Amino acid sequence: MDISILKQTAQALMASGKGILAADESTKTIQRRFEKIGLQSSPETNLAYRKMLFTTPGIEQFLSGVILYDETIRQSINGVSVPKYLESKGILPGIKVDQGLVDLPNSAGEKVTEGLEGLKERLSEYKQLGAKFAKWRAVITIGEGIPTDNCIQQNAERLAEYAKLCQEQGIVPIVEPEVLMDGSHDLAKCWEVTAKTLKAVFNRLKAHKIVLEGMVLKPNMVISGKESSIQASSQEIAEATVQTFLEVIPKEVPGIVFLSGGQTPDQATENLAAITKIGGPWQLSFSYGRALQDEALTVWVGKEENVQAAQKSFLERAQKVSEARSTR
């Protein structure tokens, strides 16, 4: 493990005015996205869509990294491997390494993430393919009697084991514990569960001797549930989020990149701006999927003649989000 390389990569991901594009949708997820525009997913169509995003002129002004899916990291753009193409634009290539969610035994409504089996070998291969960082997502659901301590602890442990394997390979781990927006819970409940989850995650990271300066955290914002009758304002979300983080996230962590978690592009942008205005001891940025892509996807709809208009939409949203992370 070369700690200096880990630190350099983490710092590069948190470059001023830039954030990370999550373009790591699984085969099933991208099919669901495409169904909304009447398109059938295939490796060729998936690449055409991602090529539209990655080749957007000027996008490197706003992106420090892109999280790829296993299919994409093996593909090429204009005869150049996707990782090398991104690096040629000054964008770091990353890779999603978890293998999705499974039911937590004996706990209805709760999930754990799988993918630790064979991860060491997969990380070695991904490094050879050009990956500089990786991502593992855990989800915590708020509902009747959940989340349980068991669910939080199991997900925290798996995140820590993943992070350790990454750092041993010289790959920066993005640690993503997501408290889902799904549900009718209020801001206070999200605050409570987010704090408890992050506390458990950092306890396990410490136990596994993770180099905090060589990782990036990708959490949810502290936000009202989608079905809650009382929706918190951007200012309330910002204050709750920063206060939670100040209580549980060590200052040694170089950066926090928020997930959008089902927020609309405008919501994700406005809430990020409010959070970064308050600030903290870490760099605060974004790692958005749908919040960066949805508008461009709606314009593109799989047609070559729409590529330039879709790229314009993508660049405009990326610039807005970049400006939101630069409000402080």
Phi, psi of 68 (to 5 degrees): -105, 165
pLDDT band at 15 (very low <50, low <70, confident <90, very high): very high
Q: What are the C-alpha distances in Å from 42 to residues 47, 302, 324?
A: 8, 12, 34
What average pLDDT does the segment 235-242 reach? 98
User: How far apart are alpha carbons 81 and 235 in whole angstroms?
Assistant: 43
Q: Active-site residue numbers?
A: 176, 218
Convert the pLDDT of each residue in 270-312 to its tens digit.
Answer: 999 999 999 999 999 999 999 999 999 999 999 999 999 999 9
Q: Which residue in 233, 286, 290 sits closest to 255, CA to CA? A: 286
- Domains observed in the chain: 3-325 (3.20.20.70)
- The pLDDT > 70 percentage for the chain reads 99
- Give residue 80's pLDDT: 98
Closest listed residue to residue 43, CA positions, set 25, 21, 20, 59 = 25
Helix (H) or strand (E) holding 219: none
- For 190-203, what is each residue's pLDDT tens digit? 999 999 999 999 99
Exposed, middle or buried: residue 6 (CB in 10 Å: 0-12, 13-18, 19+)? buried
Give the pLDDT score at 2: 85
* Per-residue confidence band for 326, with pLDDT thresholds at 50, 70 and 90: confident
Cβ pair 218, 257 in contact under 8 A: yes
The average pLDDT across 174-178 equals 98
Nearest to 182 by CA among 194, 192, 174, 190: 190
Averaged pLDDT score across all residues of the chain: 97
Over the stretch 71-124, which tens digit does the pLDDT of each residue have?
999 999 999 999 999 999 999 999 999 999 999 998 989 999 999 999 999 999
- The rounded distance, in Å, linking the Cα atoms of 280 and 141 is 27
Contacts of 157 (CB under 8 A, 6+ apart): 204
Start-end of H helices in the chain: 3-13, 27-35, 43-54, 70-73, 82-88, 119-129, 149-168, 187-207, 234-248, 265-278, 290-300, 307-325
DSSP letter (8 states) at residue 214: G
The more confidently predicted of residues 183 and 327 is 183
How many CB atoms are located within 10 Å of the residue 42 CB? 13
- Residues 25-65: pLDDT tens digits? 999 999 999 999 999 999 999 999 999 999 999 999 999 99
Confidence of residue 328 (pLDDT cuts 50, 70, 90): low
The percentage of the chain sitting over the pLDDT mark of 90, rounded to a whole number, equals 97
Tokens matching residue 202: 């950092």
With beta carbons less than 8 A apart as the criterion, state whether 131 and 95 touch.
Answer: yes
Rounded CA separation 185/73 (Å) = 38
pLDDT for the residue 327: 57
Q: Which of 144, 163, 143 is nearest to 155 (CA)?
A: 163
Q: Tell me the C-alpha to C-alpha distance, in Å, between residue 9 and each of 34, 264, 269, 292.
A: 33, 30, 25, 23
pLDDT of residue 292: 98
149-163: average pLDDT: 98
CA count, 13 A, side-chain hemisphere, 90: 12
Contacts for 52-57: CB closer than 8 Å, 24+ residues apart: 52/296, 52/300, 52/307, 52/310, 52/311, 52/314, 53/21, 53/23, 53/293, 53/296, 53/311, 53/314, 54/23, 54/82, 54/85, 54/86, 54/89, 54/91, 55/311, 56/311, 56/314, 56/315, 57/311, 57/315
56/62 Cα distance (integer angstroms): 11
